Amino acid sequence: MTRARKVIGAGLAIAVVMTAGSSLALAQAKKKKSKCKDGETTEIASYDLSKGENLDFQIAKPLNGKPGDAKTGLKWMVHRRLGNCIACHEVSKILAKAKPSDLNSLKKYGFHGKIAPTLDGVASRYTEGELRLIVVNPKKAFPDVNTIMPSFHSASDFHAVIGDCKDHAILSADRVEDVVAYLKTLKE
Amino acid sequence: MNGLKITGLAATIASIVFAGYALAADGKKEPIKPAAKDHPLDEIWSGYHFTTKETKAMQDDDFANPGMTWFDIGETNWSKKDGEAGKSCASCHKPSDMKGVAARYPIYDDKLKKLVNIEERINNCRKVNMKAKPWKYDSNDMLGMAIFVNAQSRGMTRNVKVDGPAAEHFKKGKEFYYQRRGQLDMSCAHCHEKYYGQKIRMNVLTQGQSNGFPVYRLKWQKPGSLHRRFKGCNKQVRAKPFKTGSPEYLALELYLAWRGNGLTIETPAVRN
- pLDDT tens for residues B133-168? 999 999 999 999 999 999 999 999 999 999 999 999
Instruction: State how far the Cα of A78 lies from the Cα of A94, in Å rounded to an integer.
Output: 9
Residue B82 belongs to domain with CATH number? 1.10.760.10
- The answer to whether residue B24 sits within a structural domain is no
Given B101, B120, B151, which residue is the final one in a domain? B151
Given B151, B181, B201, which residue is the final one in a domain? B151
Identify whether residues B56 and B81 lie together within a single domain: no
Identify whether residues B99 and B167 lie together within a single domain: no
- Mean pLDDT along residues A10-19: 37
Q: Are B166 and B115 in contact (CB under 8 A)?
A: yes
Identify whether residues B56 and B83 lie together within a single domain: no
Instruction: State how far the Cα of B138 lies from the Cα of A21, in Å rounded to an integer.
Output: 16
Residue A89: other Cβ atoms inside 10 A: 21
Identify whether residues B171 and B263 lie together within a single domain: yes
CATH number belonging to domain A38-183: 1.10.760.10
Return mean pLDDT, chain B. Answer: 91
Q: Where are the alpha helices (DSSP H) in chain B?
A: 2-19, 53-60, 68-78, 101-104, 118-124, 140-151, 167-178, 188-189, 226-236, 247-259
Given B151, B171, B204, which residue is the final one in a domain? B151
Q: Residue A7's pLDDT is what?
A: 37
- Contact residues on chain A for B179, CB-CB shorter than 8 A: 159-160
CA distance B196 to chain A (A): 9
- Contact residues on chain A for B199, CB-CB shorter than 8 A: 113-115
Identify whether residues B172 and B252 lie together within a single domain: yes
- The answer to whether residue B3 sits within a structural domain is no
User: Is-catalytic flag, B125?
Assistant: no
Q: Residue A163: pLDDT band by 50, 70, 90 thresholds?
A: confident
The pTM is what? Answer: 0.88
- The answer to whether residue B62 sits within a structural domain is yes
Identify whether residues B184 and B217 lie together within a single domain: yes
- Mean pLDDT along residues B186-206: 95
Count how many domains chain B has.
2
ipTM of the complex: 0.89
Q: Chain B neighbours among A 47-66 (CB < 8 Å)?
A: none
The sheet carrying B222-224 orders its strands as B222-224, B215-217, B270-271
**Domain encompassing residue B76:** 68-151
Q: Residue B201: pLDDT band by 50, 70, 90 thresholds?
A: confident
- Mean pLDDT along residues B95-112: 97
Does the beta-carbon distance from A11 to B20 stay under 8 Å? no
Instruction: State how far the Cα of B126 lies from the Cα of B39, in Å rounded to an integer.
Output: 37
Beta bridge partners of B27: none
CATH 1.10.760.10 region(s) of chain A? 38-183
- The answer to whether residue B9 sits within a structural domain is no
Residue B199: closest C-alpha in chain A: A113
Instruction: State how far the Cα of B267 lies from the Cα of B153, in Å rounded to an integer.
Output: 8
Identify whether residues B145 and B175 lie together within a single domain: no
